[in-house]
Structure 1
Amino acid sequence: MPVLKNKLLSLLLLASAGLGLSESAAALDLSAYQGKVVYLDFWASWCKPCRQSFPWLAEMQQRYGKDGFVVVAVNVDKEKALADRFLTEMPHPFTVEFDPDGTLATRFGVEAMPSSVLIDKQGHTITTHAGFFEKNVDKYEQRIRAALSL
């Protein structure tokens, strides 16, 4: 059962119209990534598995960025300072957005941290998963490679 339930199109329409989104969330326009494979990752500073996932996300961005892969990490902390502190400790060669009101997380039906959605080049959701498990990184990477047709 997917954790992230809503359609990407709904998010794009709301983001582009700026309806009901916080200022930072309204700035997220996934249509800017058309033609790329996007790994949308929801995270929080207090989340221990997020600390494990960030180095892996950085590695995936560096490894596959040249092939059209983009990581967009969406922080859901209510206090940006908490996220900023986390980010000073964790290298992140990818885009970070802030969703303190949880608007995007709600629209995607996020129920756990981290939660991720892999989006294909046409903007369709390929897969979703909740949590980050070291034992599954090969599976996560295989999905990325398949989406990139590598």
Structure 2
Amino acid sequence: MRRLLSCAALCVALLPAAVMAQSVGDAAPAFDLPALSGGEQTHSLAQYRGQWLYLDFWASWCGPCRRSFPFMNSLRDKWPQLQILAVSVDANASAAQEFLQSNPAKFALALDAGGKLAAQYKLPGMPTSFLIDPQGRIVQRHAGFNEAHASKLEAQLQQIFPKGP
């Protein structure tokens, strides 16, 4: 029931944002989020300046997110120079940690428990991902997860990193 309420609250919060989602060419909104593992480690957009970043928003209750995690792990294996940060929008870290028990990650994880960053990025749904260039501009945005998205992203990464790892 708690997951259903969290999902409903996020959907209501994101409804107006779906109309005016962040677009390709926009500057990525800055952020400074705590690492999902807790402690004092944080993740900020500034720390990725000068590097390509795949920024993914996910939640433990999101079905397509279960398929996107193996894909992001494969991206990490194919292109280690691509930085990947997956941001959980779960209300608490324990739900996200439980998700990770069956969906391990080889990439950085952060927590946006209050949904403030999700609101800044104007997410239309879960998962939503952004490919951000070294200057901090959004070059690709995708809501949901499917094979067509995966193929499109991999083709774009082949152009960015033509020689592979």
Mark yes or no: TM-score above 0.5: yes
CA drift at 1:72: 0.3
Q: 1:136 aligns with which of 149, 157, 162?
A: 149
Q: Kindly indicate whether residue 62 of structure 2 is the aligned counterpart of residue 47 of structure 1.
A: yes
Corresponding residue SS for 1:126: strand
Cα distance per residue 1:68-121 (max 9 Å; x no partner): 201100000002111000111112110000001001111100120000000112
Counterpart in the other structure of 1:11 = 30
Shift in CA distance, 84/73, structure 1 to aligned 2, threshold 3 Å = same
Match of 1:99? Answer: 112
Residue in structure 1 matched with residue 34 of structure 2 by the alignment: 24
Against the structure 1 CA distance between its residues 47 and 84, is the aligned structure 2 distance closer, same or farther, given a 3 Å change threshold? Answer: same
Query: How many equivalent pairs are there?
Result: 138
What is the TM-score when the length of structure 1 is the normalising length? Answer: 0.82
Amino acid in structure 2 at the alignment position of 1:7: A
Q: Does 1:111 align with 2:134?
A: no
Unpaired runs of at least 5, structure 2: 1-18, 36-40
- How far off its partner does 1:36 sit? 1.5
SS of corresponding position for 1:11: coil
Q: How far, CA to CA, are the matches of 1:147 and 1:30 in structure 2?
A: 20
Q: Secondary structure at the match of 1:100?
A: coil
RMSD of Structure 2 on Structure 1 (CA) = 2.2
- Contact map agreement 2:27 2:136 (CA 8 A) in 1: no
Structural mapping, 1:33-112, within 5 Å: 33-65=48-80, 68-112=81-125
Query: In 2, Cα distance between the equivalents of 1:119 and 1:149?
Result: 17
**Residues 72 and 94 of structure 1 are in contact (CA less than 8 Å); yes or no, is this contact kept in structure 2?**
yes
Which of the two has higher C-alpha Rg?
Answer: 2
CA distance in 2, matches of 1:131, 1:3: 14
Q: CA–CA distance in 2 between the matches of 1:82 and 1:32?
A: 27
Verify the 8 A CA contact 1:40 1:117 in the aligned structure 2. yes
SS at match of 2:43: coil
Q: Give the TM-score of the pair, scaled to structure 2.
A: 0.75
Given that 1:120 and 1:147 are in contact with CA atoms closer than 8 Å, whether structure 2 keeps it comes out as no
Deviation at 1:2, TM superposition (A): 7.4
The SS at the match of 1:28 is strand
49-58 or 28-37: which moved more? 28-37
